[in-house]
Every structure is written in structure tokens, then in C-alpha cells.
Amino acid sequence: MSSPVELPVTWAPRRNRAVLAGICALLMVLFSTLAFALPSNWQFNDRVAIFVSGLLFSAVGLMLARPRVSADAEGVTVVNFVRRHRLSWPQIVRVNFRQGDPWVMLDLADGTSLAAVGIQPAGGREQAVRAARALRDLVEDHGVARN
């Protein structure tokens, strides 16, 4: 069976990324303005603390925008909130995306599972189902751990 998806391909919740990027920019503007607009009786340390708080909140928002799943001829790269995993095709046994799941789960050859947060229904259920099916087809075409 030949997969309809051409490699390399990347899936990411683009709507989430756009919303989070906007929120992070807004947070930076808000906290920067607040730090400089405080009354003169506030100390410099207080202003710096407010600005740094804005940086930290924005950094968390950008971290939440990181998830993506990329596939190429050698395997799959799963980037979740904090960690990045590189898997060869034979390491992936099954792609699971059941009704109500928050994101795709990959069953691995070593008996563990890995969340692939980059494919999630938050950006649209049908889009996520198509992405999960495409990844499943790629795993079936490229993996040696077939049933």
C-alpha cells in the first residue's frame, strides 16, 4: 500500500500556535507597559520583576506552542511541550487516536507509548483525524513492525 502523503511532512496545531503567539505578544506589551507606567514611588527592582514576569509568562506560552510531529524518510520526530523524540520507523508499532483522546498516542516497539501532541483535535477534529490516518499509513508503509 502506498501512502498518499509525500515526505517530508509536518503536522502542527497551527491555530493554537497563532493564538498563543498573539497572547504572548500581548502579555509582553502589557507587562512592559505596566513596568514603565508604575508610579514613581515604585522601585527599579519592582519594575524589573514585573517585566521578568511577563517574559516568564510569554516563555510558557511559547512552550505550549512547540508541539509538532514531523515525518521524513528515516523516521518521525515528535516535539512535545518540553522534549523532542526522534524515532525510526520500525520503533513505531501503532498510531492510536480514539474518540475523546486529546492527541495521538504512538505505541512503540519497546512496549511504551509516546504522546504526539502535535496531532490534536484542538485545531479541528477532521484535520486531526486525517493527520493521524496519514501517519498511520506512513508507519504501515515504512515500519518493519507490522502485524
Q: For residue 80, what is the domain's CATH number? A: 2.30.29
Q: What is the distance between the alpha carbons of residues 79 and 56, in angstroms, rounded to a whole number?
A: 21
Cell numbers 512592559 correspond to: 32
pLDDT tens readout for residues 22-76 = 999 999 999 999 999 999 999 999 999 999 999 999 999 999 999 999 999 999 9
pLDDT at 122: 84
pLDDT score at 145: 47
**Which of 57-71, 113-127, 133-147 is least confident?**
133-147
60 and 71 housed in the same domain = no
This prediction has a pTM of: 0.84
Q: Are residues 74 and 39 in the same domain?
A: no
First to last CA, the chain: 14
The answer on 89 and 60 residing in a single domain is no
Answer yes or no: is pLDDT of 124 > 90: no
Instruction: Indicate whether 22 belongs to any domain.
Output: yes
Q: Is residue 120 part of a domain?
A: yes
Other C-beta atoms lying within 10 Å of the C-beta of residue 110: 7
Number of domains in the chain: 2
Q: Which of 29, 46, 64 is the last residue of a domain?
A: 64
Q: Is residue 1 part of a domain?
A: no
Q: Are residues 99 and 36 in the same domain?
A: no
Residue 4 predicted with pLDDT over 80: no
Both 86 and 49 in one domain: the answer is no
Judge if 79 and 104 occupy the same domain.
Answer: yes
Domain boundary among 64, 80, 99: 64
Range of the domain at 130: 67-142
Residue 5 inside a domain? The answer is no
Amino acid 1: pLDDT: 52
Answer whether residue 143 shows pLDDT above 90: no
pLDDT in tens, 88-106: 999 999 999 999 999 999 9
Cross-strand pairs, 104: 116
Supply the pLDDT for residue 109: 96
What three-state secondary structure class fits 128? helix
φ, ψ (nearest 5 deg) of residue 61? -60, -40
Query: Is the pLDDT reported for residue 136 higher than 60?
Result: yes
Q: What band does 2 get if pLDDT is binned at 50, 70 and 90?
A: low
